[in-house]
Amino acid sequence: MHSFHYHNGELHCEDVSLQTIADTYGTPTYVYSANTFRDHYTRLDAALSEVDHAIEYAVKANSNISVLRLLAELGSGFDIVSGGELYRVIKAGGDPAKCTFAGVGKTREEIEYALKQGIYCFNAESEAEVVFIDKVAGELGLVAPVALRVNPNVDAKTHKYISTGKSENKFGIDFEFIRDAYGRAAKLQNIKLRGLQMHIGSQLTSVTPFIEAVEKVAPLAADLKGLYDIEFFSIGGGVGIVYDESLDSGKPEWWANQLEDKRPLTIEQYCAGILPHLKGLGLKILVEPGRYIAGNAGVMLTRCLYEKKGTAKTFKVVDAGMNDLIRPALYEGHHDIAPVREPADDTTETVDVVGPICETGDFFCQNRPLPNFDEGDVIALLSAGAYGYVMASNYNTRGLPAEILVDGSESKVVRPRQTVEDIVAAELV
């Protein structure tokens, strides 16, 4: 569910016209719905109510400080993968004691910073990392809380770039080695074993891999609780969102009309599938959602600059590029595209929507039937709230887009558009 819909002939975010936002703030621009963030968080929280749990929002999905503040106000914890993300959380008013620090390549500076801020736990991805955390903590006269990440060797059946739970992936410690790794970690003087962590991948659209992973790892978590008195089991994130028919999926009737075997995975189905395997563990269950909370809470607005008709294709050239939203180029990621002005009928034209970047891979769709839009018209790339702005770059010396947060009838700039002067300022030394 989300809060993007047509009203009086224009696409709205909650009660604010996206045409008005584009005309006021320019394009390309990211627009986020505060109430969609709230709805997704509270629905997940309610679905997990049968177990002691904590939600650790994955900051990498969307790290805007205003977004983090909104989630912190709801009581969220945070899954971070860098010292910079921890800094953002603290600036947003988040509690370091509710932060788990993941990632395979933590540096000394990051470990020291996280220890001094009092984070809840490091999710260590290798035994070498545990040894290094022990060394750094000892030099600071501190004890480091640590959970080891187990790689359960479960196929998430998602894109190879976002699959993390197979033995050939770089993440975690092989399931066959994890018990011995805990035994060695328990002997380190400056380590407190606090939990067990896993994460099998992102954008999973079936509950089956989640159940398979939990069934395999839950007995291990129970054993580790008995041996080392760990207090939590983090099952990661990865629940997929609706990318196809994204706009329609904001309506309850769309979900009601889906055939049972075609209906996208809901958070209620996800929790119903995994909770029976977690209830009896006596451990706090941590989840680390990112895309689920942020993905359908945002769109990117871009304006059509030109139409170019060739012998093979019709191109719609827009003012956003792969530097602004790289998912289609990087992952072949799909984003539905909707004209901000509501189409008068169902007429479509098969087009490529492309950007100004000097790369053939700079496209948002290819050979896709879309409602007609003309030069000067604004379109919205839907489901862009996760892994959109956070992966943007200055390629071709293009300034980063603006970010707007809508809350009811109010909209505010939560990050201004970057200028060329901003880009080069640090180089003029």
Q: pLDDT for 78-95, tens place per residue? A: 999 999 999 999 999 999
Residue 70, domain member (yes or no): no
Which of 242, 263, 287 is the last residue before a domain boundary?
Answer: 287
Write down the pLDDT at residue 30. Answer: 98
**What percent of the chain clears pLDDT 70, i.e. is strictly above it?**
96
Phi, psi of 248 (to 5 degrees): -65, -30
Say what the pTM is: 0.94
Write down the pLDDT at residue 352. Answer: 97
Give CA separation, 322 vs 79, 284, 307, 318, in Å: 27, 40, 18, 11
- β partners of residue 10: 7, 341
Least confident of 161-175, 264-278, 411-425: 161-175
Catalytic one of 99, 271, 304, 358: 358
Tokens of 146: 């640590």
Residue 307, domain member (yes or no): yes
Among residues 342, 340, 320, 343, the alpha carbon closest in space to that of 393 is found at 320
Handedness of CA 35, 40, 45, 50 (dihedral sign): positive
Tokens of 172: 């975690």
Contacts with 295 (C-beta within 8 Å, 6 or more apart), sequence order:
61, 241, 383, 384, 385, 386, 387
Q: What element of type H or E holds 144?
A: strand 144-151
Residue 380 has pLDDT above 70, yes or no: yes
Give CA separation, 24 vs 8, 18, 333, in Å: 19, 10, 29
Q: How confident is the model at residue 160 (pLDDT cuts 50, 70, 90)?
A: low
Write down the pLDDT at residue 261. Answer: 76
159-172 mean pLDDT? 55
Q: How confident is the model at residue 155 (pLDDT cuts 50, 70, 90)?
A: low
Write down the pLDDT at residue 244. Answer: 92
Residue 162 has pLDDT above 50, yes or no: no
Burial of 163 (0-12, 13-18, 19+ CB in 10 A): buried
Q: How confident is the model at residue 259 (pLDDT cuts 50, 70, 90)?
A: confident
Specify the 3-state DSSP secondary structure of 324.
coil
Residue 89, domain member (yes or no): no
Binding residue numbers for substrate = 291, 327, 331, 359, 387
User: Across all residues in the chain, what is the average pLDDT?
Assistant: 94
Domain housing 385: 4-13+20-29+296-425
**206 or 390, which is more confident?**
390
Binding residue numbers for pyridoxal 5'-phosphate = 238, 288-291, 387
Task: Specify the number of domains making up the chain.
Answer: 2
146-173 mean pLDDT? 68
Q: Are residue 212 and residue 314 in the same domain, yes or no?
A: no
d(CA 53, CA 284): 5
Which of 270, 287, 304 is the last residue before a domain boundary?
Answer: 287
Write down the pLDDT at residue 258. Answer: 86
Which of 237, 266, 287 is the last residue before a domain boundary?
Answer: 287
Domain holding 111: CATH number? 3.20.20.10
Least confident of 6-10, 263-267, 376-380: 263-267
358 is catalytic: yes
- β partners of residue 85: none
Q: How confident is the model at residue 20 (pLDDT cuts 50, 70, 90)?
A: very high
Q: Report the Cα 210 to chain-centroid distance in Å.
A: 18
**What percent of the chain clears pLDDT 90, i.e. is strictly above it?**
86
266-271 mean pLDDT? 93
Residue 69, domain member (yes or no): no
Residue 95, domain member (yes or no): no
d(CA 281, CA 295): 31
Residue 167 has pLDDT above 60, yes or no: no
Residue 170 has pLDDT above 90, yes or no: no
Write down the pLDDT at residue 165. Answer: 42
Residue 161 has pLDDT above 70, yes or no: no
